[in-house]
Amino acid sequence: MNVAASAIDEISDQELISVTGIVTSNELFSDHADNLKSMRHMELQSKDHLELNDIKSERIKKASKKRRCYCCQLCLLLLKFTGILCHIFCCPPIPEMIIRKLAFHPLKKGKTYVLYGKDIHGNFILINNAKKASKFTSLKFEVQQLIEGSSISVEGIETSIIKTRRGSYLPILMISNNLSNDESKDLVVLFSQPNSSDLGCYFQSRGLNFRDISELLKTVIYAYDYSGYGISTGSPSEKNIYADIEAAYKHISESQGPNVRIALLGYSIGTVPTIYMASKHPPNLCGIVLIAPLASGLRLYTKTNRTCCMDRFLSYDRAPNVNVPVLICHGCMDNIIPKNHGEILMERFPRAVPPFYVEEANHLTIFSRHNLSVFFRIRYFLFHETDPLHTLNH
């Protein structure tokens, strides 16, 4: 023990400090490394946290921007819709003007057809106005094809200009065929078209045309443009379409003579003047055909048995005054003028024949090449269910 103690005592204070210092440095190095690792880990966590915050912030900014864009689009849409409503109902707030904006959509003048008038020198001059065309004794109808395809012949089509009691000038065409027989020799059909077409639309290569209609029905077809449509003068309105069909009917009576039977054929809004004309009991009327008819304007939006003072196109109220046979054809898939309009009207006509409803037809295909059965039904009606000549005007 004394030897050991002596050995320890022999160690100098400096050596003891040196040894102790070495141990202390190692401990400090180890602690420093641990601190560095901890700080590095904290830095990485902090960096990840910042990156996550940046991502969240960016997403929030994008979502906020999308919300602002959506709100702006919604505001613009509401403003546009409000502007349209103001234009329709407030400028001016007159029922006739409101109906004109809602119901009539004429194509651009000259888009589907033009007329040429023959002058005294035998030259044909382009005419874009029916009033000017009325001064020519010879007129030529020329189709402007909207799509590529074989053109429809207009040879043999008679073009005339008529004037209505409201001062409009309208073109009227007579389309004949070589398929007439004893059943149709004294029969002609006056066609009233939908609201977004004119005469040129029924001479396009890929759609139903007047040549097809005339051949399928085996009758002479008369067709006219409403005021403000095609090259007609005037403006489209409910009052004008009534005056328009009156002028067309008068033209047929004068050009065909007293021994003719006239059947009216209306499609969509064309059923409105058709029913109006039939309710006036004109001479030589033998029957009417209604394709996708509407009962009245407001009944497109609400079901009611009472007619509102603001309602227009009052076919529902005029139907009981029609005293000739009536055929109604309607597509069951029609979402523009639902089939129930045809059903309502059929109950109102005193002499309605069994209707013809087509299961898969809509507002456009009901009167097209897709449903030729409709034309066969119309032809049967014209030949077998309309009034004969000897019973007319009595």
User: Over the stretch 69-124, which tens digit does the pLDDT of each residue have?
Assistant: 656 666 666 655 454 444 444 444 445 555 555 667 889 988 999 999 998 888 89
Nearest of 325, 179, 177 to residue 261 by alpha carbon: 325
**Phi, psi (degrees; rounded to nearest 5) at 139:** -125, 145
Percentage of the chain beyond pLDDT 90 is 55
Q: How far apart are CA 15 and CA 10, in angstroms?
A: 10
Tell me the CA distances in angstroms from 112 to 117, 194, 217, one per residue in order: 17, 15, 24
The residue ranking higher by pLDDT, 350 or 81, is 350
Q: How confident is the model at residue 15 (pLDDT cuts 50, 70, 90)?
A: very low
Q: What are the structure tokens assigned to 81, written together? A: 């819709």
Quickly list H helices, the chain.
2-10, 13-89, 95-103, 130-133, 210-217, 238-256, 271-279, 315-318, 339-348, 372-384
Q: Indicate if 13 belongs to the active site.
A: no
Taking only the tens place, the pLDDT of each residue in 179-192 is 767 777 899 999 99
Q: Indicate if 198 belongs to the active site.
A: no
Which of the listed ranges 12-21, 257-266, 313-322 does the model predict with the highest average pLDDT?
Answer: 257-266
Predicted pLDDT of residue 320: 97
Which of the listed ranges 31-40, 62-71, 308-317 does the model predict with the highest average pLDDT?
Answer: 308-317
Average pLDDT across the chain, whole number: 82
| Residues paired with residue 221 on neighbouring β-strands, in sequence order | 175, 189
Q: What are the structure tokens assigned to 42, written together? A: 């904290």
DSSP character at residue 230: T
Percentage of the chain beyond pLDDT 70 is 68
pLDDT at 41 over 70: no
Q: What is the DSSP string of 102-153?
A: HH--PPPTTSSEEEEEE-TTS-EEEE--HHHHTT-S-EEEEE--SSSSPPPP
Q: How confident is the model at residue 19 (pLDDT cuts 50, 70, 90)?
A: very low
Cβ-proximal residues to 71 (8 Å cutoff; 6+ apart), any chain: none
Q: What is the DSSP string of 311-331?
A: --S-HHHHGGG--S-EEEEEE
Q: How far apart are CA 369 and CA 365, in angstroms?
A: 8
State the catalytic residue, choosing from 212, 225, 244, 334.
334
Q: How confident is the model at residue 277 (pLDDT cuts 50, 70, 90)?
A: very high
Question: At what angle are helices 95-103 and 238-256 packed, to 10 degrees?
Answer: 70
Indicate the residue type of 292. A
Reduce the DSSP state of residue 154 to 3 states and report it.
coil
State the catalytic residue, choosing from 251, 330, 341, 363.
363
Q: How confident is the model at residue 152 (pLDDT cuts 50, 70, 90)?
A: confident
| 255: number of Cβ within 10 Å | 14
State the catalytic residue, choosing from 197, 227, 237, 268.
268
Q: Indicate if 334 belongs to the active site.
A: yes
pLDDT at 266 over 90: yes
**Phi, psi (degrees; rounded to nearest 5) at 326:** -130, 130
pLDDT at 39 over 80: no
Q: What is the pTM of this model?
A: 0.75
Reduce the DSSP state of residue 357 to 3 states and report it.
strand
Calculate mean pLDDT across residues 282-307.
Answer: 82
DSSP character at residue 363: T
| 375: number of Cβ within 10 Å | 20
Nearest of 284, 282, 304, 286 to residue 295 by alpha carbon: 304
